[in-house]
Structure 1
Amino acid sequence: MATVELRFSAQPEHVRTARLVAAAVARRAGVDEAVLDEVRLAVGEACSRAVGLHRSHGVADPVRVVLTEEEKTFSIEVGDGVSGTGGAGSSAAGGGDSPADHEGDAEGEDEMGLAVISGLVDDVEVVSGDDGGIIRMSWPTTPPATAS
């Protein structure tokens, strides 16, 4: 099992780098070429969402992306580090406690981002805990051809 971990400050300009790294590691892991665009888009959406949550909640910790290559699967976890707000599960938690108007907009964007990810990835899981939320996504890999 090979793992690559990427941490970046919650700045929108770093999302592109995360997308490029994810696509490169996915390709090396054996994810089908036809699926690489979906990997890029899903990682971009998950990272953009995490950046938005970090910025809106004043979280100074970096966004964490873990890319794991297993025997038949390639998986990516994007952690947002936002605790006490429902994190990645905020859409299931029914929203925040603050009546501020902009939170309604943020919640709508959050739900839209999760809907996009769910449309791109067949195997996706969204969890939240004390350390924040995590979006887990995985794709099947094709074993490399062996020489005869």
Structure 2
Amino acid sequence: MATVELLFSALPEHVRTARLVAAAVARRAGVDEAVLDEVRLAVGEACSRAVGLHVSQGIAKPVRVVLTEDEKKFSIEVGDDAPHQAVVGSAAAASGAPAATPSGSAAAHEEAADGEDDMGLAVISGLVDDVEVTADETGGLIRMSWPTTPAAETA
């Protein structure tokens, strides 16, 4: 199993680099050429979401992207270190279920961020058949995967 790990400062201009790296690794892993645009778009949405959360919450840690290839699938994990108050809302957004609204003084900020998160997560779930979104007080993680074609079949 081959793994590429990418750490980048939470700056919007680095999202493009993450998309390009993801597409290159996906191609090498054997992801169908017709799906590479979906990989690029999904990674761009996930990384933009993570950058936005880091910037809005003043988090200096880098955004993490882990690209893993094995015999049957290519997986990407995009992680952030932003505490998520509406854990149910983040996971529900990916599945199309209604999001929970957090209570307390941070509710307005979280609600505004949830609107952007909901759109990005909806785009990702429309592009990727196998997606999982998890979040808690230590950060969030979006896991996505695509099937690969073994090298013997592509020759």
| TM-score normalised by length of structure 1 | 0.89
Alpha-carbon distance in 1 for matches of 2:154, 2:147? 22
Q: Which moved more, 1:83-92 or 1:16-25?
A: 83-92
**CA 1:95–1:4: 2 relative to 1, 3 Å:** farther
Aligned to 1:48: 48
For residues 20-55 of structure 1, give each alpha carbon's deviation from its aligned partner in whole angstroms, at most 9, with x where no partner exists.
000000000000000000000000000000000111
Distance across 2 between alignment mates of 1:141 and 1:88: 31
Specify every segment of 5 or more residues in structure 1 that has no aligned partner in the other structure, as ranges: none
Deviation, structure 1 residue 103: 4.2
Residue 121 of structure 1 corresponds to 128
Q: Is the 8 A contact 1:88 1:133 kept in 2?
A: no
| Mapping 1:93-132, distance limit 5 Å | 94-96=100-102, 97=104, 98-100=106-108, 103-132=110-139
Aligned twin of 1:145: 152
**Are the equivalent residues in 1 in contact too, given 2:89–2:101 (CA < 8 A)?**
no
Q: CA deviation at 1:107?
A: 1.4
> What RMSD, in angstroms, separates the aligned Cα atoms of the two structures?
2.2
| Residue aligning to 2:70 | 70
Counterparts of 1:4-83 in structure 2 under 5 Å?
4-83=4-83
Count of equivalent residues: 147
Q: Which moved more, 1:121-130 or 1:18-27?
A: 121-130
From the superposition, tell whether residues 107 and 27 of structure 1 become closer, same or farther in structure 2 (CA, over 3 Å). Answer: same
How far apart are residue 131 of structure 1 and its match? 2.9
**CA pair 21-56 structure 1, distance change in 2 beyond 3 A:** same
Q: Which runs of 5+ in 2 are unaligned?
A: 93-98
Of 38-47 and 124-133, more deviation after overlay is shown by 124-133
DSSP-derived class of the 1:135 partner: strand
d(CA) in 1 for partners of 2:88, 2:127: 17
Normalised TM-score (structure 2):
0.86
Q: Secondary structure at the match of 1:145?
A: helix
What's the secondary structure of 1:76's corresponding residue? strand
3-state secondary structure, aligned to 2:6: strand
**Among the aligned pairs, what percent are the same residue?**
75
- 1:126 Cα deviation from its structure 2 partner: 0.4
Whether contact under 8 Å (2:84, 2:140) holds in the other structure is no
AA aligned to 2:114 is E
8 A Cα contact 2:61 2:81, kept in partner: yes
